[in-house]
Amino acid sequence: MTTATTKLAIDRLRTLVSFDSTSRNSNLDLVNWAVPLLEQAGARIRLSYDEKRSKANILASFGPNVRGGILLSAHTDVVPVDGQLWSSQPFVLTERDGRLHGRGTADMKGFIACCLASVPHWKKADLHRPVHLALSYDEEVGCFGVPGLIEDLIAHVATPAVAIVGEPTNMMIADHHRGYLAFRTTFRGKAAHSSDPSKGVSAVSAAAHFVRLLEELDAQNAGLTASTTFNVGLISGGSTINIVPSHCEVLWEIRPSADADLSLLKKTAARLVSEAAPPEFAPETQDIVTIPALRPEPRNQASVVAQQFGATLSNAGLPFGTEGGFFQAAGIPTIICGPGSIAQAHQADEWISIDQLDQGCRFMDQVTSWAVASDHQDLNEDCMSSARIGGEI
């Protein structure tokens, strides 16, 4: 049976989906709808903006301003629908056979809807531990919003004890995932008439050599999080067929495993770039995205707490990146757990099942109960107690 909270979550999801918050667009319509809703429930609101002030992060805090609370994190942006064949309007929530279709339903407005449906409970409850809701912008294009949100959090809000990032995992707990490093490398050469290529230096040839060197690393079998993978996504160079190309740009990526040595990876990448081109035409590489991996931690407090809320621990990590690594780098124990499946994300007719939304709402009910608990027991004691009962984490 669908609970009242789940019905409210569906209503909240309907509104969230109606905002075309594709990363290339502003998210302020969504922000300007959500902020009054949160403020009316008594939340303390902090907004942080991008340079153009066309996008904003929301940090909303309920309960006492003390350390030891829980942070629930989600991103507000979605991927484009361009070129996809939808059977219904992508920005109109459509129910079919127990599934709710619409862009962002799985990734990850479903989790936001569960949080917002719990806001009335957080308003009425006597919270002894704070609940923080962190909604960021531009996650889908490089997690560009969350560093500013975390900076604001550290400067103005009592540090949460744990963070839960609500990416779709079918309410399974993932405690690690790969990172993401994206680069733009520009190869340069010397233009010449193609009737005598020896008079020039081909930037395209240097770029092709670099691609071959990457392939020789033989690290293309992802094995979920066990391996580091490399990929070349775009090569663009030259001007016309009868000119030796003097310019070529390569967009490429490294997805480091959760335990990879990033410094060593970057040194290896720099060496390969250098080897691919003549010394007198040194390439230039620009870092365009850096998303840290979420590393597994023994007795992760966030994992223990999420199990108390009814989520199931999974030994599998995630092959994609999230903002989780940023929270972990800030010293906050972090896991990934949310309703829906990543298999439905970024697809035409994206959907989340009502059952998954209901599980997400029941999870939030347990969050509320945990925050209300008045025994004032230290979270570390909570976690040690749970570890003794349930065995090693």
Q: Which of 36, 115, 39 is nearest to 75 (CA)?
A: 115
CA 187 to chain centre: 31
Number of helices (H) and strands (E), helices first, in the chain?
A: 10, 15
Q: Which of 187, 211, 218 is nearest to 286 (CA)?
A: 187
> Facing residues of 236 across strands?
249
Q: Which of 315, 314, 210, 320 is nearest to 257 (CA)?
A: 320
Q: Which of 179, 180, 185 is nearest to 251 (CA)?
A: 185
Q: Under a CB-based contact definition with an 8 Å cutoff, are residues 349 and 87 in contact?
A: yes
Q: Under a CB-based contact definition with an 8 Å cutoff, are residues 291 and 180 in contact?
A: yes
* Residues annotated as catalytic (active site), given as ranges: 77, 139
Cis upstream peptide for 364 (omega within 30°): no
